[in-house]
Amino acid sequence: MLSLRNAAIKKTEVSPSIVEPSQPDEILHPSCFRRLAESVSGQALFLLDTDGLIRSWNVGAFDLFGYMKSEVIGNPLRFLMHPQSSSGFEYDETLWRARQAGTDGWEASRTICCHDGRVLHAVVCITAFKDLKDEVTGYGVTARRDDLDDIERNYHDSLTVLNTIVEALHDPVFLKDRDGRYLLFNSAFAEHVGVGAEKIRGHTDLDLLSPEDCATASQTDRIVLETETPHEYEYTQGQGAEQKITQVTKLPFYNAAGKAFGVFGLARDATLRRRQELQREVQLSDEHNARKDAERTVRRLEAIQTVYETVVTNLETPSLIAELLDRIMKVLRADMASVCLLSEDKKHLIHCQSRGDSENSVLEDGSEVGQGLIGRIISQNESLIVADRREHELGNLFENQRIRGFIGSPLSLDGQVIGVLTLGSHIIGHFTDDDLQILRLVADRAAIAIERAQLFEELNAANAAMHRLSHRMLEVQEEERRHIARELHDEIGQMLTGIKLHVQNLPLSPTSQELAIHVQTSESYVDDAIREVRRLSTGLRPPALDVLGLESAIRECTERMATQAGIQHKVKAENIGRFDHDLEITLFRIAQEALTNVVRHARAKSVCISVQRHRKEVKLTVMDDGVGFDYDSAREKADHGRSYGLRGMEERSILMDGQLSIRSRIGKGTVVKATFALREERLEISTDKDSHHE
């Protein structure tokens, strides 16, 4: 504030070089100060005469109060004062205070009525001017806006407006100072905390809330004041259906100086919104679960469709398994897949197919079933999922170190495991329980599909064998016909021709001696023909087989053939009884063919034929000590039609649902075994067949 206390010239401050004693009144004349005051701008400065009337008015006074110079000159100072403060400006008291203050001036806050009707709070300073004789010659007045008073009044005015606004709100609203005392609140807040207004204003949360809620409120107040940022939280009251959730939003409240001096809060009932959010969360969760269920159902349907499409389009086991693995890998996003089947003895795994990243993943055929994960799948007949297969013993199946995630399921038929379907992934924990269910679904149907394909292959093989057998039977029939025709032509025909020629050479009138000779010779020819017919008949079907049974027929055949070849022989067939004619002729022909091979090719010294009858089966064994042969080579020749003996034995065995095995090693002889089940119809010879053969 501009002060005029230095403008009062004291006697001790006057320099003779500046103030001449002969002209003191001229120097201290008020007109000098008037010109000085009116020249000041940016500050309200005006002069009063000794009577307290305004005598000068500068630009600063006009800017502050809005009055023109002509409007105020000659008026007393009270002209500017608001009625509520003009009483404090009684002439005598005001001037007296100014005179008493001396050069420091007298300062007071007063309310000024401005020209435009505004009310201005100003700080007014009045300084008395004195001459060298210490007599008052006038007064200097300065005025400035009372900023602090304006701030305080604006604050209270704002607080009044804020209180009006807050009271109109339906939600609880409050204002607290830095110490947590409630300065402002509305009726809704009082109702919310359940106490009267007189117990809220000036009190803290300790007087209103529970210890737990009070701690939360105090903590959040500190956060707002320290960070000067808004903060939001929720708290719950009541239980069950009476539960109420309140959401509180707190913001820093600033004073005019821009400093956070309190916390402004707004509380809202969030019970309905929270319940709606929970319902929405439940709804979203249900929708998510429903979508997951739908996705799982689609994947299951895809897996089932995969199996069905594969079964429909593939009836051969290798192509069926390959297509099945490719499809299930796609469905489960796997990196490799494999199928292994159990051997007939259930002790070894036979690798069928591997797809995807199967390098070094499966050992060669014949691997023994181990005790690891694969062994557990087989032994317990249950599916298995492993997050990281390196942490487990897989048995002796997998060697691929890139495979981490593992899932496997048994291939089962009627509760019996026939193999294992396994999948692998490069990702740890890739497979889920849903994947495991899908794999079980696929494995159950894949087992049926594989069995179906195998049965189809067996059927095709049986049909092919039947076709070959039919063709062979025709060949055998033609061969037998050629053989019989040749025998009849070469042997019987010649004998009959000899008889004819001998009869033709009989004289017309033979003597008794000539007739006797011709008759004797003819009888000899006829006896030879009869023996030859019997030989042919025995070769076609030995009479002993029908009359005496299998044991006698085999003994007779063995003795005859082995004796002619000079081979020691032995037959073990005691008390075997009789069988169905078809079974007896099959056993006889296999024994006959095996003996023929011994005589023709084995160069054996001895041969032993054994027929053993058990409760449910009959077994024929022909064993020699000959040179032996390469069975695989002979089998290949038989497949190409160059070995009728081997094929003949196999085909006869197949026709009677029997099992034929041939073991032979070079230099170690040969063993032929034929086994047939004894069904009810094979135990006795039927009457019709007996009468037919009689």
User: Tell me, what CATH number does 586's domain have?
Assistant: 3.30.565.10
| 235 shares a domain with 258 | yes
Tell whether 505 is covered by a domain. no
Q: Residue 90 pLDDT > 70, yes or no? A: no
Q: Residue 321 pLDDT > 50, yes or no? A: yes
Report residue 428: phi and psi, to 5°. Answer: -70, 135
| 237 shares a domain with 100 | no
User: Tell me, what CATH number does 188's domain have?
Assistant: 3.30.450.20
Tell whether 504 is covered by a domain. no
| Mean residue pLDDT across the chain | 78
Tell whether 498 is covered by a domain. no
Please report the pLDDT score of residue 514 as a whole number: 75
Q: Give Cα 295 distance to the centre of its chain.
A: 11
Residue where a domain stops, chosen among 269, 289, 318: 269
Cα angle value 132/134/138 (rounded, 5°): 95
Task: Please name the helix (run of DSSP H) or strand (run of DSSP E) that holds residue 558, with its range, or none.
Answer: helix 550-565
Tell whether 57 is covered by a domain. yes
Who's near 372: CB < 8 A, 6+ residues apart? 392, 393, 394, 395, 396, 397
| 688 shares a domain with 557 | yes
| 182 shares a domain with 98 | no
pLDDT per position as a tens digit, 292-301: 877 777 776 7
* Mean per-residue pLDDT, 76-92: 65
CA dihedral 28, 30, 32, 36 (to 10 degrees): 130
Please report the pLDDT score of residue 691 as a whole number: 38
Q: Residue 60 pLDDT > 80, yes or no? A: yes
Q: How many domains does the chain have?
A: 4
Please report the pLDDT score of residue 310 as a whole number: 63
Confidence label for 639 from pLDDT (cuts 50, 70 and 90) = low
CB atoms within 10 A of CB 576: 16
Q: Is the model more confident about 32 or about 217?
A: 217
| 592 shares a domain with 449 | no
- Give the pairing type, strands 416-425 and 405-413: antiparallel
Tell whether 290 is covered by a domain. no
Tell whether 530 is covered by a domain. no
Distance (Å, whole) CA 232 – CA 144: 45
| 253 shares a domain with 326 | no
| 630 shares a domain with 565 | yes
| 108 shares a domain with 40 | yes
Tell whether 483 is covered by a domain. no
Q: Is the model more confident about 525 or about 24?
A: 525
Cα angle value 649/650/655 (rounded, 5°): 100
Distance (Å, whole) CA 134 – CA 284: 94
Task: Please name the helix (run of DSSP H) or strand (run of DSSP E) that holds residue 613, with its range, or none.
Answer: strand 606-613
Q: Residue 623 pLDDT > 70, yes or no? A: yes
| 590 shares a domain with 642 | yes
340 touches 351 (CB < 8 A): yes
| 158 shares a domain with 120 | no
229 touches 253 (CB < 8 A): no
Q: Residue 433 pLDDT > 80, yes or no? A: yes
Residue where a domain stops, chosen among 460, 491, 521: 460
Distance (Å, whole) CA 217 – CA 207: 12
Residue where a domain stops, chosen among 460, 491, 520: 460
Please report the pLDDT score of residue 112 as a whole number: 84
347 touches 369 (CB < 8 A): yes
| 383 shares a domain with 321 | yes
pLDDT per position as a tens digit, 125-151: 888 888 888 888 888 888 888 765 565
* Mean per-residue pLDDT, 266-289: 86
Cα angle value 212/265/182 (rounded, 5°): 75
| 129 shares a domain with 174 | no
Residue type, 666: I
pTM above 0.85, yes or no: no
The highest-confidence range among 11-25, 370-384, 539-553, 608-622, by mean pLDDT, is 608-622
What domain range includes position 114?
A: 5-145
446-477 core/surface letters (b: 16 or more CB in 10 A; e: else) = bbebbeebeeeeeeeeeeebeebbeebeeeee
Tell whether 9 is covered by a domain. yes
* Mean per-residue pLDDT, 378-384: 83
Distance (Å, whole) CA 531 – CA 16: 192
User: Tell me, what CATH number does 338's domain have?
Assistant: 3.30.450.40
Confidence label for 642 from pLDDT (cuts 50, 70 and 90) = low
